[in-house]
Structure 1
Amino acid sequence: MAFCQALSGNAAVALETRGLIAAQKALFEAFIQLLADAIDAKSPYTGGHCARVPELAQLLAAAACEARSGPYASFQLSEADWEALHLASWLHDCGKVTTPEYVVDKATKLETIYDRIHEVRMRFELLKSAAETDAWRAIAAGGDRQALQAELERIWAELDAEFAFVAECNLGGEFMAQERIDRLQAIARRQWRRTLDDRAGVSAEELRRRQRESQQPLPVGEPLLADRLHHRIERLPQQQLPADNPWGITMAEPELL
């Protein structure tokens, strides 16, 4: 009788443990799906992505397991492997939780907290205004008014076409043809005149990055578009993954953020 009681007690403990483990797994499953749903809800451009990837991952893995010839003929997943694949596919985008909104929800190439195409447009507006000022100065100095106005109209049309091209590039895909890159670089070499200090009123972090560049006396000619040293945001030591990380991650980190 005592033996039966002990045996039934052990069985009850085992069943309760299995129930607790199952409940813990269910809670974890619900948590990671909630996390994925929250990431999907952040962006109308990638909405549903986190939910679709697990479905596709399961289908691809199943197809590989069913292969009887070719490179996947011997490929099989154990029960533990299937569970790991399931969790990994649901968590593949979990890093977006800490990624800034303007990076996750990036609708154009120049968009950050705001779309910097507006800043580019203003530089074109400055060039058009400067061209008009130069034309009227030349007219006031006795130049041929009709010829100068015709030249001004030509310059305006050229600037309008160039801005339209830059704006189109901002909406483009991930790759550009070489001739479009060459044209963009040619447009970038145009100069606009800056008369105000570009270090005034900026954050301490941006000021630190700008101090890596030599400060030229004002006024100064600035390229219309440029990759500047202060645009390069370095990865700080605390943001780097140690070589002996416990997760076994071996992917090389980009030099810059």
Structure 2
Amino acid sequence: MALNKDIHKVMVIGSGPIIIGQAAEFDYAGNQACRALKSLGLEVCLVNSNPATLMTDPHMADEIYIEPLTLKTIERIIEKEKPDSLLSTLGGQTALTLSMELAKSGFLEKHGVKLLGANPLTIDKAEDRQMFKDTMLKINQPVIPSKVVTTYEDAIDFVHNEIGLPAIIRPAFTLGGTGGGICHTEAELDEIVKNGLHRSPIHQILVEKCISGWKEIEFEVMRDSAGNVITVCS
């Protein structure tokens, strides 16, 4: 694919510390992305809160900011560096959440910054539990009985009247599923539902029938806009 001539300076958001949900592969991927961008003659501005990474080596980017990965920090650096593009798909949940906040608030549009890698709608379809479920049903893919709720009462009602215990609680837009879990008892249901709603930045959880004991088969592929597909792992 030919390089978009409108892209001259790209900001890359790193993943920060290596924790559950944001492992070392993000550092490696970000490292390769910075190399690729620089090889194309683009100016690269990197933001990462973790100095002990490959990404923050001096030769990886033209400008490197080792600062907290917060909304205010990213906004300040964008205003100073004036990138025309933002690449956030290599920084785990933290970078995705930050990019969505910047996009939905209108900050990126106001400053003429284009989101690369994945647009807000695509990120929403993967992160928003209801949108993901609707997308799967639209392409005739089977889904486990579930319901997206935003209140404690709706969650308890769905479990009691539709799926029973055990049930799985999955908060939306949280790092590595933080706040979720499997509920085997009424006490666990009460605690995890409340915690999941609290942890989700949009106060949304998916209440799902537990299928513990089933075999999980994972098959990952990558596809570009031209329809080229490769298997990543299985």
User: Which bracket does the TM-score occupy, shorter chain normalised?
Assistant: under 0.3
Select the structure that is richer in strand. Answer: 2
Q: What TM-score, normalized by structure 2, do the two folds share? A: 0.25
Answer 1 or 2: higher relative contact order, Cα 8 Å, separation at least 6. 2
Rg comparison, structure with higher value: 1
Q: What TM-score, normalized by structure 1, do the two folds share? A: 0.23
